[in-house]
Structure 1
């Protein structure tokens, strides 16, 4: 077995490791609101999210192409495979750190940051800053703003449409509706986050000379989908508690409005091949929905801590990716 083949297999294994951490780290994106409103039991919600992620994996081809071709350009060879491995380790390290502290940061931006940090030190590798600005930075800034504003107005629409309804009846009805919105949210998570892992696997296969970025085998989608589903079902309870309880106490209509808003943003971004953060999207939607009650209903101190993590994710994962690359470069 050649060294390049071993390195390519290592890329796939580390990509699946990142994919697994992405699953339990971002499980909260799809189910935190449904669990906190008691629309779904935790295990039922996790199982549903796992199935939704599995389905969504096969629908995010444009996002996979953006990640595989639009972030960095690396020449074929084992040295470039070392860059991808270092970037994945940087992303995994940041995911585990933020999971430990219960902070809902973006696995997507951890992945991009780790890959960019390692590529900057690689020599022949090129960071496509134009692609990062268009596909990462601008969507990173706009998606939370859109989620916040849209969530606010969607919730206002719900309040107006059901203003004469009985609270008990409405809560029961919206708990049922949340089963649909949470499932839609989990599909959107698969369309976005699983597709990013697919893009990284295809990048590794292309660098190793075993695949073309213009096509890929079905097994890449299936493997990614299954690992993400297993990671999701494992559950990231620390982050679920943060999103479901610490930012704002949600009732079923608010939970439905937040999930419907986030799903709409995710589906739209996927249609245009924009790899946005599901974490940023659902968190900002929750804040927007909560602000319709009163501004003080949102625990802005917790929200501020989340914002700090958002800002730090890209450079922190990038720094770890760069350090890991320096350590493993002699091996490649």
Structure 2
């Protein structure tokens, strides 16, 4: 089916967001690996990019519950209604651009805010401006987005705390050589974390592509393989170039991590993201990784955690959806005139 120029222009915009997402959020998966000096920055980013290039295709085997959540965030009946195409194109353009603008702003200041929440906020804000509050699937919004904003960081903090306590107890009589084990074991954990990050984040872009298909009259019953490939490539390219400001904030700004801390943090974050993906929740890698580091640091030396930095990160978690939502609504009013 011929989808038209508008579809392909906006599809490119979706994958620009995906690239920024990889650049902004993807670097979290290597932050502690680099900070603990287990691997130099460029090889770490290259390895993570290779993993993130392959893992999105797992949706063909495991399923795409996260992209289904994104697709259903705004009711399909609103953006596919007869005569709604112009408003629908303005809505989706505004939502994507709001997310990109907020991501670039937080990257500029080295704040590990959530690209996922920026996208959700932008789409929800633009959707309400375009179709009213009744267009938002509030069950998905509160249950799989807002609840997870509070739940996943709490789980990550607690799990990181307990895992490090366990590791410290198990290695209490170990020689200095145990550090070598944790140095190399991080490579496995980072692969696990990168796989789960890309599996979750790629589906957010795929979900927006499915909304675009619905707007433009395409087939929404099956996820196009080309959309998976494009999301994978853009995430991989984004992480390959790395957001070093955020790597510095996450890797060294919260706690001075050693190999054992990085190992515990990566294991925690990877497990939490995987669990959320299986539940269909579009979660934030930034939140989860940062929280796991706070938990790990607290398990060893509570006072050594840089709580002032943690506080700034926490504020960004709370303001991302409202700001991106407001920005999406304002941009919709502008693009509605254009379209």
- CA distance in 2 between partners of 1:275 and 1:265 (Å): 12
Please tell me whether the aligned partners of residues 266 and 276 of structure 1 are also in contact (alpha carbons under 8 angstroms).
Answer: yes
Match in the other structure for 1:231:
238
How much has 1:288 moved relative to structure 2? 0.2
Which shows bigger deviation, 294-303 or 65-74? 65-74
1:216 is displaced (CA, Å) by: 1.8
Per the alignment, residue 316 of structure 1 pairs with: 323
Unaligned runs of 5+ residues in structure 1 are none
Question: How far is the alpha carbon of 1:71 from its aligned partner?
Answer: 4.6
Equivalence for 1:56: 55
Structure 1 distance, partners of 2:4, 2:15, is 17
Counterpart pick for 1:180 among 185, 188, 196: 188
After superposition, the Cα gap between the structure-2 partners of 1:72 and 1:161, relative to the gap in structure 1 and judged at 3 Å, is farther
**What residue is the counterpart of 1:10 in the other structure?**
9
- C-alpha separation in 2, matches of 1:62 and 1:120: 23
Please say if 1:75 is aligned against 2:65: no
How far apart, in 2, do the equivalents of 1:148 and 1:62 lie? 25
Q: Do 1:7 and 1:78's aligned partners in 2 also have CA atoms closer than 8 Å?
A: no
TM-score, L = length of structure 1? 0.96
Q: CA deviation at 1:55?
A: 2.2
Offset at 1:256?
0.3
Give the superposition deviation at 1:93: 0.4
Contact kept in structure 1, 2:19 and 2:234, CA below 8 Å: yes
**Alignment: residue pair count:** 329
- Whole-angstrom distance in 2 between the partners of 1:287 and 1:303: 8
Q: CA deviation at 1:72?
A: 4.5
TM-score of the aligned structures, taking structure 2 as reference length: 0.94
Can you list the C-alpha shifts for 1:189-216, whole angstroms capped at 9, x where unaligned?
101111111111111112111121x312
CA offset digits 1:32-76 (Å, max 9, x no partner): 000000111101111111122122212342111111124554322
Specify which of 128, 146, 156 is matched with residue 147 of structure 1.
156
Correspondence for 1:200 among 201, 208, 213: 208
Q: Where in structure 2 are there 5+ consecutive unaligned residues? A: none
The correspondence for 1:254, drawn from 261, 280, 286, is 261
8 Å CA contact 1:116–1:127 kept in 2: the answer is: yes
1:275-286 map, 5 Å: 275-286=282-293
For residues 317-332 of structure 1, what are the structure 2 equivalents within 5 Å? 317-332=324-339
4+ aligned runs moved over 3 Å, structure 1: 70-74
Corresponding residue for 1:133?
A: 142
Counterpart in the other structure of 2:278: 271
SS of equivalent to 2:72 = helix
Per the alignment, residue 293 of structure 1 pairs with: 300
> Following the alignment from structure 1 to structure 2, what is the Cα–Cα distance between the partners of residues 131 and 273?
10
Determine if contact 2:27/2:243 at 8 Å carries over to the other structure. Answer: yes
